Every structure is written in structure tokens, then in C-alpha cells.
């Protein structure tokens, strides 16, 4: 498979890349690293990305961020920052991927546990993760008619981020990287569509 992995040098993305690189044609995109550099919050960058890749079998996105702040400090701009990056960045990539994905291909987005298991100061991410899941649920039927599958992987705090982030996730048990990568492999290689793959289930 020819797979475009946006965020493939990040904490989660590099583990997926390690699993896929020997058996697939893997194109890694990122903001400042990778085979192709782009800002996924910029529509022109996304158009140029697909001009560079040509037709692909699968798009996997493990990129996008949002501010983590107390509720009373949150502004419209904080939400906008998260919308432009993690939410519309992924959605715009998915929309612009449609004509560039071969029949039988797939799109895999990344949401996260905060959609249903919140942390203090994580309101923007909770909002955005739910929106990313909503896009998958809303779009899979129409994509099915085009022969394209779409799923979201929704990981808990991952093991490789635990040292850096566990103080923000009180009482959360980090999930192992093998289990996280397995979620992306399931979305890529099985026949499922329209699913939110919670990791752990």
C-alpha cells in the first residue's frame, strides 16, 4: 500500500511508521520534518501535498494540537487554534484526500480519550476530539459509496508520552504503544468503517 502518514515523526506517528515501513510505500509528512513538509491548518499546503503524493491507498493522520487551559481563561482564539489545527486540519486533509484515494482505500484520523474521559483544563481537546469522531460518523456512509473507508483511533494517554504528560492525566493508566499501533493497523487493514477505535477498548 502507498500510505501517507501525516505526523509520522511524532510520538505516536513514529511508532506506526516503524511498523509499516518495511512492507509499504510510506510517505511521511510533518510541519518541520518528513518527506513532505506542510502546515495542515493551511488549505493551500494540503492541495500541494496531494499534488506531490499523487494517488494513495491510505491517509493516516497523527497530528494536530489544541491549548490546554483552565476554563475561565479560555477564549474564542484558543478554540479557534484547536479547530484550525487538530479539527479542521484533519477534516480538511480528509476532504481533500477523497479524490486522491484509490478505490478500496482508507482514511484514519486521531481523536483521543478526552472526548469521553476528561482531564482538568482539557475542554478544548474534549470538544475537538468529539468533533473529529463526529466527522467520521457523519461521513462514512457517503464515503462507502466511493469505496473509501474512514475511522478514528482514539487513544488513552500513550506510554511514550507518560513521562511528559502524566501529571495532566491524574488517575489515567497509560496504554502500551503496541496496542496503540494495533488500532491504526486495524483501521488500515481490516474492512471496518465509521468506527471510533478506543485504545484500550
Ligand X SMILES: NC(=O)c1ccc[n+]([C@@H]2O[C@H](COP(=O)([O-])OP(=O)(O)OC[C@H]3O[C@@H](n4cnc5c(N)ncnc54)[C@H](OP(=O)(O)O)[C@@H]3O)[C@@H](O)[C@H]2O)c1
Binding residues vs ligand X (CB under 6 A)? 6-7, 9-13, 30-33, 38-41, 62-64, 85-86, 89, 110, 112-113, 155, 157-158, 161, 165
Q: Which residue has the cell 513538509?
A: 37
Nearer to ligand X, 119 or 148 (CB): 119
- The angle formed by the CA atoms of residues 122, 124 and 125, to the nearest 5 degrees, is 65
Q: How far is the CB of 105 from ligand X (least distance, A)?
A: 21
The three grid cell numbers given for residue 139, joined into one nine-digit string: 461521513
Nearer to ligand X, 145 or 172 (CB): 172
Q: How far is the CB of 8 from ligand X (least distance, A)?
A: 6
Other C-beta atoms lying within 10 Å of the C-beta of residue 29: 27
Q: How far is the CB of 166 from ligand X (least distance, A)?
A: 9
Q: What sections of 37-122 are H helices per DSSP?
A: 43-53, 76-82, 88-97
Which stretch of DSSP H or E encloses residue 108?
Answer: strand 101-110
Nearer to ligand X, 45 or 101 (CB): 45
Closest CA to 169 of 125, 137, 136: 125
CB closest to ligand X, residue no = 10
Nearer to ligand X, 6 or 20 (CB): 6
Q: How far is the CB of 144 from ligand X (least distance, A)?
A: 25
Amino acid at each position: 500500500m502507498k500510505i501517507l502518514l501525516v505526523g509520522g515523526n511524532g510520538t505516536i506517528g513514529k511508532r506506526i511508521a516503524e511498523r509499516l515501513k518495511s512492507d509499504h510505500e510510506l510517505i511521511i509528512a510533518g510541519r518541520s520534518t518528513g518527506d513532505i513538509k506542510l502546515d495542515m491548518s493551511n488549505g493551500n499546503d494540503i492541495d500541494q501535498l496531494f499534488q506531490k503524493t499523487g494517488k494513495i491507498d491510505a491517509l493516516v493522520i497523527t497530528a494536530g494540537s489544541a491549548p490546554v487551559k483552565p476554563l475561565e481563561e479560555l477564549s474564542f482564539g484558543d478554540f479557534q487554534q484547536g479547530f484550525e489545527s487538530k479539527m479542521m486540519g484533519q477534516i480538511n486533509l480528509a476532504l481533500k484526500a477523497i479524490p486522491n484515494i484509490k478505490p478500496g482505500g482508507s482514511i484514519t484520523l486521531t481523536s483521543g480519550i478526552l472526548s469521553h474521559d476528561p482531564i482538568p483544563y482539557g475542554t478544548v481537546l474534549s470538544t475537538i476530539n468529539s468533533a473529529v469522531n463526529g466527522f467520521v460518523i457523519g461521513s462514512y456512509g457517503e464515503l462507502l459509496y466511493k469505496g473509501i473507508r474512514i475511522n478514528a483511533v482514539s487513544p488513552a494517554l500513550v506510554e511514550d508520552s507518560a513521562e511528559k504528560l502524566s501529571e495532566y492525566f491524574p488517575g489515567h493508566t497509560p496504554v502500551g504503544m503496541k496496542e496503540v499501533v494495533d488500532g491504526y493497523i486495524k483501521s488500515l487493514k481490516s474492512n471496518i468503517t465509521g468506527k471510533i477505535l478506543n485504545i484500550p477498548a
